[in-house]
């Protein structure tokens, strides 16, 4: 049975809130998250369901939604008088079109309240806010993927038919030492590998 089916769509907000601390993107986080060997994992079914949900929410907005956000953005600047209004609206809408609608809505608030509270933003400033919001989502997806990978690793490395706690002390120490060595090697490899995504997320 597909484990994703065990998490109902209506339960996803509660699941996300429960793991919000893990999914939040730290300031300046650009690399794929590393899960510690003894870290408590997000349950596999919840991680799979959240990952699928968040990937689906990366779909870009429609042209109509982009124009809606453009109007919302410009409506906050009562004295805005672009040199060429048609070109300005077109360029701003084109930027919005490359992002999900809900991310665009959050970016509008960020631009109006923080980045450009007094004067209309240019396309680059809007893109900056959009990229920052999307990076939060892509980072959360990477966290979930890291937890799913660790689930697989632990299942593969688990001694057949035995628990680590049941091993003799010497055997248990050797097993945990080998696990730690593999984890360190994997972590060092990730740190030394440049981010293929170009720095986002």
As a whole number, mean pLDDT of residues 68-88 equals: 85
Is residue 18, in this structure, part of any structural domain at all? Answer: no
56/122 same-domain check:
yes
Q: Is-contact 146 37, C-beta < 8 A? A: no
Total domains in the fold of the chain: 2
Q: Which pLDDT belongs to residue 3?
A: 40
75/148 same-domain check:
yes
Owning domain of residue 129: 39-153
127/178 same-domain check:
no
169/143 same-domain check:
no
Q: Ramachandran region of residue 89, left (φ > 0), alpha (ψ -120 to 50) or beta?
A: alpha
Helix, strand or coil for residue 72? helix
143/166 same-domain check:
no
104/70 same-domain check:
yes
| Tens digit of each residue's pLDDT (9 = 90 or more) over 122-146 | 999 999 999 999 999 999 999 999 9
Is residue 12, in this structure, part of any structural domain at all? Answer: no
144/171 same-domain check:
no
Is residue 84, in this structure, part of any structural domain at all? Answer: yes
As a whole number, mean pLDDT of residues 31-36 equals: 78
For residue 19, CA distances in Å to 23, 67, 143, 148, 155 come to 6, 34, 10, 14, 22
Is residue 10, in this structure, part of any structural domain at all? Answer: no
């Amino acid at each position: 049975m597909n484990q994703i089916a065990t998490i109902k769509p209506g339960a996803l907000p509660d699941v996300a809130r429960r793991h919000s601390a893990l999914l939040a993107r730290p300031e300046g986080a650009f690399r794929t998250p590393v899960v510690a060997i003894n870290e408590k994992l997000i349950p596999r079914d919840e991680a799979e369901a959240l990952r699928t949900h968040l990937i689906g929410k990366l779909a870009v907005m429609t042209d109509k939604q982009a124009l809606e956000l453009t109007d919302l953005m410009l409506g906050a600047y009562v004295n805005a008088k672009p040199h060429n209004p048609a070109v300005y609206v077109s360029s701003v809408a084109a930027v919005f079109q490359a992002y999900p609608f809900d991310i665009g809505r959050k970016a509008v608030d960020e631009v109006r309240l923080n980045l450009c509270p007094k004067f209309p933003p240019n396309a680059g400033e809007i893109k900056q806010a959009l990229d920052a919001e999307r990076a939060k989502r892509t980072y959360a997806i990477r966290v979930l993927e890291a937890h799913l990978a660790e689930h697989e690793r632990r299942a593969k490395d688990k001694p057949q038919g035995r628990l680590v706690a049941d091993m003799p002390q010497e055997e248990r120490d050797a097993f945990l030492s080998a696990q730690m060595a593999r984890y360190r090697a994997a972590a060092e490899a990730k740190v030394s590998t440049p981010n293929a995504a170009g720095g986002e997320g």
